[in-house]
């Protein structure tokens, strides 16, 4: 794997793209290394992640992602003016993340990010040919009520301080009032991060494996696979897939460690591929034992989901583990082509050993809106 180059020196980056974005990157780097206060008793809040810029925060920044998440999926009631609603929410995201909003009740926002996306129905009202206009098709191993499939609006709230998350959700939903009708919500958490490469670390999931290693982590890969380059109304945005997956933990835990590793294709303890190397190494999918068996088994998750094997692009996975309504994973991926997700899951199909341990209970896709600032309100490129 190439080392991520998303944290260039401040000077080099300022030269290339200007100060606002550089400030965002710098804050993202510092977010996970916030020092304790001088008494050493309590940690100071993590450094802020600017809400404005070319892209919304909460997708690549901060890295690593904050430990607490709440995702709220809602419908926009008929007749509501979407443009003004999004612009209003964007202004609130600005005041909440900068800590100038009385609705925070005095809590420092720290590294709070609020990331907003619109569902296919709303995108189609603008232009049915835009990226984000297509619904996700149904897939095998789903048990999804109509309420938990699709939705018009995603509000993804992430923060280091677990208390900030529901306070911010309440503020935003109260502000939207009866313009929104909530469909489902999901909170999630991420444990300690394991270093992967320079500028990249990832947590373990409920199966005990490090999750979030392979993805578009370099600036070049993010341009190619993550951010939408156009058309103009969506440029700087990306497509999100959100799937709540229940995990059959007792059945997985009953396997030996070797069997668990065969399901994933990586070592549980250190994240290295079963073909060897370190956590940062790409799996060598052709490598075999002397008696001719694949080191990374034919049905291992990292083989079935591998972008080259699938013939798809890279997706940025930013999943959170969940305890309720059942133990599992709120799988979240961001990519600039929905086919990256659909081809991967189709290829995993019935032959991915991991999928036998999962049931998907909620599913939705969203166009994550391009970044915004004072002059260009959230959503204005689409609904302005
Ligand atoms: C509960 C369900 C899932 C769990 C627990 C899980 C866990 C993991 C783990 C531990 C890895 C290996 C480390 C890494 O590269 O991050 C991995 C890799 C990956 N997963 Fe999943 N995953 C799940 C579902 C999915 C789904 C639904 C997709 C997409 C359709 C997906 C796509 C990928 C991809 C693209 C990789 C990288 C493969 C590679 O190139 O090595 N995963 N996953």
The pTM of this model reads: 0.91
Is residue 100's pLDDT more than 80?
yes
Q: How far is the CA of 314 from the centre of ligand 1 (A)?
A: 11
Average pLDDT over residues 289-314: 97
pLDDT tens profile 319-366: 999 999 999 999 999 999 999 999 999 999 989 999 999 999 999 999
DSSP E strands in 50-103: the ranges are 68-76
Pocket of ligand 1 (CB under 6 A): 205, 207, 209-214, 245, 247, 264, 266, 283, 301-302, 305-307, 315, 329, 331, 341, 344-345, 348, 354, 358
Is residue 182's pLDDT more than 50?
yes
pLDDT tens profile 206-246: 999 999 999 999 999 999 999 999 999 999 999 999 999 99
Pocket test for ligand 1, best of 305, 333, 342, 349 (most atoms within 8 A of CB): 305
Residue ranges covered by each domain of the chain: 14-31+45-383
Q: Which atom of ligand 1 lies nearest, measured to the CA of 306?
A: 40
Whose C-alpha lies nearest to ligand 1, atom 27? 345
pLDDT at 312: 98
**CA 156/CA 123 separation, integer angstroms:** 18
User: 179-200: buried (b, 16+ CB within 10 Å) or exposed (e) per residue?
Assistant: bbebbbbbbbebeebbebbebb
Q: Which two tokens stand for residue 4?
A: 């991520």
**CA 255/CA 251 separation, integer angstroms:** 7
**CA 246/CA 252 separation, integer angstroms:** 12
**CA 188/CA 323 separation, integer angstroms:** 7
pLDDT at 5: 45
Beta strands 180-189 and 200-203 are: unpaired
């Amino acid at each position: 794997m190439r080392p991520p180059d998303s944290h260039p020196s401040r000077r080099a980056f300022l030269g290339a793209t200007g100060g606002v974005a550089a400030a965002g990157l710098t804050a993202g780097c510092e977010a996970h290394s916030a020092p304790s206060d001088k008494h050493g008793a309590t940690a100071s809040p993590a450094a802020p992640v600017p809400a404005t810029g070319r892209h919304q925060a909460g997708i690549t920044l901060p890295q690593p992602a904050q430990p607490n998440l709440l995702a709220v999926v809602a419908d926009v009631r008929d007749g509501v003016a979407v443009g003004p609603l999004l612009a209003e929410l964007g202004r609130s995201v600005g005041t909440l993340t900068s800590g100038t909003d009385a609705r925070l009740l005095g809590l420092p926002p720290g590294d709070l990010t609020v990331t907003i996306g619109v569902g296919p129905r709303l995108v189609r009202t603008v232009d049915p040919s835009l990226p984000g206009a297509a619904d996700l098709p149904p897939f095998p191993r789903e048990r999804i009520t109509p309420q938990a499939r699709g939705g018009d609006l995603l509000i993804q709230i992430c923060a280091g301080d677990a208390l900030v998350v529901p306070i911010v959700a309440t503020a935003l939903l109260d502000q939207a009032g009866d313009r929104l009708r909530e469909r489902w919500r999901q909170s999630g958490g991420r444990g300690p991060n394991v270093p992967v490469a320079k500028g990249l670390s990832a947590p373990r999931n409920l199966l005990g494996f490090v999750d979030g290693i392979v993805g578009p982590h370099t600036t070049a890969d993010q341009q190619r696979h993550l951010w939408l380059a156009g058309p103009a109304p969506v440029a700087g945005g990306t497509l999100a897939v959100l799937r709540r997956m229940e995990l059959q933990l007792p059945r997985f835990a009953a396997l030996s460690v070797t069997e668990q590793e065969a399901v994933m294709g990586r070592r549980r303890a250190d994240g290295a591929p079963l073909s060897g190397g370190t956590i940062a190494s790409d799996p060598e999918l052709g490598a075999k034992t002397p008696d001719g068996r694949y080191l990374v088994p034919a049905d291992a998750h990292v083989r079935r989901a591998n972008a080259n094997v699938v013939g798809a692009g890279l997706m940025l996975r930013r999943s959170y583990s969940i305890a309720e309504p059942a133990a599992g994973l709120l799988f979240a991926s961001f990519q600039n082509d929905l086919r990256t997700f659909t081809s991967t899951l189709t290829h995993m199909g019935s032959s991915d050993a991991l999928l036998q341990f999962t049931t998907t209970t909620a599913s939705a896709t969203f166009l994550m809106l391009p970044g915004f600032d004072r002059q260009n309100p959230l959503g204005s490129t689409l609904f302005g």
